[in-house]
Structure 1
Amino acid sequence: MSTVLDPDSADLTLLQDRQVAVLGYDAVAEAHALNLRDSGVDVWVGIDPDSRRAVSAEIEGLTVRSPEEAVAHCDIVLVPAADDHSPGPATFDLEHLQRLLDEHTEPGDLVIVTSGAQVLPGALSVPEGVDLALLRAVGDGQRIREEFLDGRGCPALVAVARDGSGAAWATLTAYAAAMGSLRSGAIVTTVEHQATALDLAEEWVHVPLRKAVEAAFDELVRRGVEDEVAYLAVVHDLKTRVDQINGAGFASQYGPAGHPIGGSEGEPLTRRAAARAAHPLEHVGRRVRAMMSWIR
């Protein structure tokens, strides 16, 4: 079982004399910036001051500076990924981000990314003496903000990849607390594990699922089934089932054992026997879902 950090794991006073630069201002960056600000953290948004997103940040009362100035001024830098295949915010390419970190961070600073893939070999790197960590909230930007405002928080995955200062973990947990994530819990992992999980899920689940859906649709249409009927069967009904699995596990589809297995004579399994037969996914799923207030 993983280590899960709670509010008692953090000391928010560690952020009192620190400044956080949030690069970009997409939905996730905005949620980080606003949650941190509401927790009393000094936040600077690093973005083109003439951009429309900069105006949105200024309306919220946030300090807006050029990315170079924000990174140079602050000692904690958030580099949110636009998606799991991007080095950072949508308006930043890898070369720009690397130059920002190389030229404007100092030993003892902490760089936080939101996807382990951002800092795998050949991707973004931090200069010698600069700490590196991961904080990936379980939820999109809107969810992160709404949960915080409701007095809860989105759980998160956290990891430290480099801790030259000896203070990276303490600073990261304080940051996670200010974000609201420790209210629900932060699961300790590694950058490599999080990146591997994303890659394998993409290869073994997401891509094959898309291909299976497309193939089933094509086959139904080939058999003369109306397009709309085929769509509803392979897409709409799939979403309904996935929502049920996400909210209550596979057992919500096939009974408490997670699959339609009976006893030796085809009799229904007892509750205890069903629990023993359940795939580990069911047990882990119950623990993880308990951290998400919106699906409890």
Structure 2
Amino acid sequence: MAKVYTDKDADLSIFKGKTLAVLGFGSQGHAHALNLKESGAKVIIGLYKGSKSIPVAKEKGFEVYETGEAVKKADVIFVALPDTKQAAAFEKDIKPNLSKGKTLLFSHGFAIHFKTVVPPKDVNVIMVAPKGPGHIVRRQYTEGKGVPALIAVYQGGKEAKKIALAWAKGVGGTRAGVIETDFKEETETDLFGEQTVLCGGCTALVQAGFEVLVEAGYSPEMAYFECLHELKLIVDLMNEKGIAGMRFSISETAKWGDITVGPKIIDSGVKKRMKAALKDIQTGKFAKDWVKEYKGGYKKYNALLKKGEKHGIEKTGEKLRSLMPWMPKRSIKGVQAAY
């Protein structure tokens, strides 16, 4: 069982007299910056010239600099940029302003593990990865709680680990518990989870279930409720109590369907394809294809997203969610994390 680090294992005084820079002010960036600031650290923000996030960061009370200048001024630099944009930012703004002893920090290991970013040997390279989106990291912190986090040291030894633990404490992670991993393990398991279960697997399963019911003549509204709306109830139960705990809370009929029909749907063929997806991650094929897609202007990426937005489940869901006053009213059009 991995050691779980808590508040007593981390020392925020390591940041005394130091400047922390957060490059980007999107989901994770804004949460880390605000939490660290409220934990007593000196935090500045680095953004590219003309970024829409500049007035937002200033309004939150931060000094904002162009990316290269922020790197120059800081001792610890959090690269809170999209995976595909880190390489260009590193070559243009980060690398020329790094000096011996500085620390580069990431919240995901993609760029380092797949070597789209190759840092100099005389800087620390660490990771602090909260296991939750930025708005939850922020909300939990303001409520006096925290989101569990992973830390990793790619280069830099004991001192680098102390910095990682201090950062994790500053964002609230040690309140919940921090586990040490390495860049390879975090990157490969994170990508696998996203692709095969949490995002890719889940959305494909929901859409397929909806299609089967509608094609069989059932109303789209009933298909939506049974294949999407109620999914949250089951996931919440699993999140709180595990799979066995979820099964304890559902009817015997639901349990019998779960344990007898579920394995026929998610069968050995699915597992075989999951293993193939994992192989593509491990060999770097997925990373190579994703970087190529980015460099090609996101053509396939945007086309597939647009196709998904036109799926029948979206129109049905929009109508039904409008009848639920407790649901936040959001439009996906034009919504993107700000960097």
Does the CA contact (< 8 Å) of 2:24 and 2:81 recur in 1?
A: no
Does the CA contact (< 8 Å) of 1:98 and 1:125 recur in 2?
A: no
Question: Structure 1 stretches (4+) deviating beyond 6 angstroms?
Answer: none
2:241 counterpart of 1:234: no
| Aligned AA (1:101) | I
Give 1:203 shift. 4.2
Q: Which sections of structure 2, spanning at least 5 residues, go unmatched?
A: 257-339
Aligned match of 1:220 = 213
| Aligned AA (2:227) | V
Hey, what's the Cα distance between the residues in 1 that align with 2:165 and 2:209?
46
Does the CA contact (< 8 Å) of 2:46 and 2:64 recur in 1?
A: yes
Q: For residue 250 of structure 1, give the secondary structure of its aligned residue in structure 2.
A: helix
Flag the 1:45–1:203 CA change in 2: closer, same or farther, 3 A: closer
Aligned match of 1:72 = 72
Flag the 1:81–1:102 CA change in 2: closer, same or farther, 3 A: closer
TM-score normalised by length of structure 1: 0.78
| Aligned AA (2:226) | A
Instruction: State, as a whole percentage, how many aligned pairs show the same letter.
Output: 28
Does the CA contact (< 8 Å) of 2:23 and 2:46 recur in 1?
A: yes
Give 1:212 shift. 2.6
Please give the root-mean-square deviation of Cα atoms over the aligned residues, in Å: 2.1
| Aligned AA (1:182) | T
Aligned match of 2:272 = none
Flag the 1:68–1:235 CA change in 2: closer, same or farther, 3 A: same
For 1:22-41, list aligned pairs within 5 A: 22-41=22-41
Aligned match of 1:183 = 175
Q: What is the CA deviation profile of residues 98-134 of structure 1, one whole-angstrom value per residue up to 9, with x for unaligned ones?
A: 3333211112111110112232123222112111111
Moved more, 106-115 or 155-164: 155-164
Give 1:81 shift. 4.4
More helix by share: 2
| Aligned AA (1:111) | L
For 1:1-296, list aligned pairs within 5 A: 1-48=1-48, 50-82=50-82, 86-87=83-84, 92-163=85-156, 166-206=158-198, 207-255=200-248
Q: For residue 122 of structure 2, give the secondary structure of its aligned residue in structure 1.
A: coil
Give 1:253 shift. 2.9
Q: Which sections of structure 1, spanning at least 5 residues, go unmatched?
A: 262-296
Does the CA contact (< 8 Å) of 1:31 and 1:144 recur in 2?
A: yes
Moved more, 206-215 or 219-228: 206-215
Q: What is the CA deviation profile of residues 55-97 of structure 1, one whole-angstrom value per residue up to 9, with x for unaligned ones?
A: 1211222111110100011110001244xxx24xxxx452123
Aligned match of 1:293 = none
Aligned match of 1:265 = none
| Aligned AA (1:46) | G
Flag the 1:93–1:189 CA change in 2: closer, same or farther, 3 A: closer
| Aligned AA (1:68) | G
Does the CA contact (< 8 Å) of 1:114 and 1:136 recur in 2?
A: yes
| Aligned AA (2:186) | Q
Hey, what's the Cα distance between the residues in 2 that align with 1:191 and 1:112?
12
Hey, what's the Cα distance between the residues in 2 that align with 1:170 and 1:228?
53
Flag the 1:93–1:200 CA change in 2: closer, same or farther, 3 A: closer
| Aligned AA (1:243) | D
Q: How many residues align?
A: 251
TM-score normalised by length of structure 2: 0.69
Q: For residue 249 of structure 1, give the secondary structure of its aligned residue in structure 2.
A: helix
Q: What is the CA deviation profile of residues 232-271 of structure 1, one whole-angstrom value per residue up to 9, with x for unaligned ones?
A: 1111122221122112211233239xx959xxxxxxxxxx
